Amino acid sequence: MSDRLQSRKWVFFALFLGGALLVLSPPFLPTYVVILFAQSLTYAIAAMSLDLLIGYTGLGALGHIAYFAIGAYTTAIFASKYQASFAGTTFFSIVLAAGASALLGPLALRAAGVYFLMITLAIAMCIWGLAFRWVSVTGGDNGITGINRPDLGLPWPMNDAVYFYYFVFACFLICLILLFLIIRSPFGKTLVGIRDSESRMKVLGYNVWVHKYLAYIVAGAFAGFGGCLYAYFNGFVSPNDANLGHCMELVLMVTIGGPGTLVGATLGAFIIVFLKNMVSVYTKRWLMVLAAVYVVSALYAPDGMTGLFKRLQTRRGTPGGEND
């Protein structure tokens, strides 16, 4: 009994430390680090939504970045061409991303296992191709520039890195809480049941397909919102944001952090964003470093950092061993 309390205390403490870092440190950190923090959080929202699928429902949706990209483009177009407000861009980003996932979900869910992986990846490539060639809407390879930071009517300028970061953090917190509530709800518990054994859930009378479909749509909506924030962050959106590299990176964020623990996805997002941006300062071969991360984490840490952490714990705290 006390090890569980013990390990839970560690978890809470780690969360507390992480949260403190995210909330308190930005005004004291170098600008560039704060900028990377903000970028990590936009991806973290998308990564968490993907974790809902991979970690909690057992759906390996490799192409999830497509909905992030749809959200990003929607915001980009509405903000730059129509000067839409934040409320407007958020609304449309989420609606369009959710709509796309509602439309494409049935297509993807016709398959299972590795076929599902392939098909979601192929769908993501379709979205990329669309962004690339539908030049009149998306600007094609030129992307969309001139996305100004949202005017929220607050006294703090959004162009400042620290203020913008806190804005993104607030949005992230809302998403985290919402997703946490979803996971704790009966719906969320059903998803976990589906992940563990689909056949059992079917036998028990649950409509597995509908649950998967709803999870897919919900995940798409959150990813779209992440994309919306990303567009504001980056000031620029291009087909690159939905390419194969980004597809797999989003998955890597989930797996390296630890699937099935929302926080793991957030941690993974931070790790990957910082890795990509910082490593290139020290070596030109940063792609190889990223490659090593893919391979090593898949081989030795399939449950990600949080899984590693848990394993280290159980190794230390053998039942009845460490208490006095």
Q: Report, in Å, the least distance between residue 262 CB and another protein.
A: 18
Closest CA to 11 of 267, 183, 186, 190: 267
Q: Report, in Å, the least distance between residue 173 CB and another protein.
A: 20
**Torsion sign (Cα): 178, 180, 203, 54:** positive
Using the minimum distance from each CB to another protein, give the nearer residue, 27 or 181: 27
Using the minimum distance from each CB to another protein, give the nearer residue, 88 or 143: 143
Backbone angles phi, psi at 144, to 5 degrees: -120, 120
From the CA atom positions of the chain, what is the Rg in Å?
20
With vertex at residue 248, the alpha carbon angle to CA 267 and CA 304, rounded to the nearest 5 degrees, is 35
Q: Report, in Å, the least distance between residue 238 CB and another protein.
A: 5
Q: Report, in Å, the least distance between residue 181 CB and another protein.
A: 26
Using the minimum distance from each CB to another protein, give the nearer residue, 111 or 204: 111
Q: Report, in Å, the least distance between residue 65 CB and another protein.
A: 13
Q: Which residue has the tokens 């208490």?
A: 323
Q: Report, in Å, the least distance between residue 152 CB and another protein.
A: 18
53 neighbors 219 (Cβ within 8 angstroms): yes
Q: Report, in Å, the least distance between residue 224 CB and another protein.
A: 19
Closest CA to 94 of 191, 205, 199, 231: 231
Closest CA to 71 of 41, 45, 106, 48: 45
Using the minimum distance from each CB to another protein, give the nearer residue, 318 or 323: 323
Helix (H, G, I), strand (E, B) or coil at 24: helix
Give the bridge partners for 237, in sequence order. 144
259 neighbors 53 (Cβ within 8 angstroms): no
Query: Which tokens belong to 219?
Result: 């995940």
Using the minimum distance from each CB to another protein, give the nearer residue, 161 or 183: 161
Using the minimum distance from each CB to another protein, give the nearer residue, 23 or 174: 23
Using the minimum distance from each CB to another protein, give the nearer residue, 214 or 289: 289
**What is the rounded CA–CA span in Å between residue 283 and residue 302?**
27
Helix (H, G, I), strand (E, B) or coil at 258: coil
